[in-house]
Amino acid sequence: MDPGEHILRYEAPGAAPVEQRVVVRVNEKNRTLTAILMPQAAPIAAVVPSPPVEAAPSDSGPQSARIPVATWVFAGVALAGVASFAAFGLSGQSDVANMRAAGGCAPNCTQGQVDAARTKLNVADVSLGVGIVSLAAAAWFFFHRGPAPAATALDLRPDVEARPGGAVATIRATF
């Protein structure tokens, strides 16, 4: 039905017809209406008004602008993970470059020097993984914050799947 005011007429054999005034709002669907049909002999046809329906939130209202706290938390963790990746990655690469440079210790570096550079690079790799997974989680919470309005027929579903040697992130769109 189009949004606006409508008059619905209910009829059944052996019963008096009943008319009901209904206001249909934008994006409203699956609303239940009730009408009681009385036998034809009844002098007055009974009409049971439907319960009042609150106005559907508009796309620009505060309800649609509300972003779940989990989105912000995971976005912050993603930002920290990427920053940690950059800091530890650059520091580890710098240590390796200094060991390989002219005047460096390569190939006779101590185990402590090699371990320090390797630890920095491993922390960088783990930080990048944490950042990517957190970003995917933030996106999931952002896109799954509630039912989409009836006018919107786009459904986005992010997914992360572990694979040998890494992971695959996908976003499925249905429209």
Partners of 170 in the beta sheet?
A: 159
What pLDDT, on a 0 to 100 scale, did the predictor assign at position 156? 66
pTM score over 0.75? no
Condensed to tens digits (0 to 9), the pLDDT of residues 104-150 reads: 888 889 999 899 999 999 999 999 999 999 999 999 888 887 654 55
Residue 61 pLDDT exceeds 70: no
pLDDT of residue 159: 77
Say how many C-beta atoms besides its own lie within 10 A of residue 131's C-beta. 20
% of the chain residues with pLDDT over 90: 31
The two tokens of residue 45 are 């046809």
Q: 3-state class of 146 per DSSP?
A: coil
Provide the token pair at 151: 């006018």
Q: Which of 47, 9, 46, 3 is nearest to 23 (CA)?
A: 3
What's the confidence (pLDDT) of residue 62?
A: 47
Q: How far apart are CA 48 and CA 132, in angstroms?
A: 55
pLDDT of residue 14 exceeding 50, the answer is: yes
User: Whole-angstrom Cα distance, residue 90 to residue 97?
Assistant: 10
The C-alpha atoms of residue 71 and residue 65 are separated, in whole angstroms, by: 13
pLDDT at 108: 87
106-117 burial code (b ≥16 CB/10 A, e <16) = eeebeeebeebb
Tell me the angle at which helices 69-100 and 111-143 cross, rounded to the nearest 10 degrees.
Answer: 160
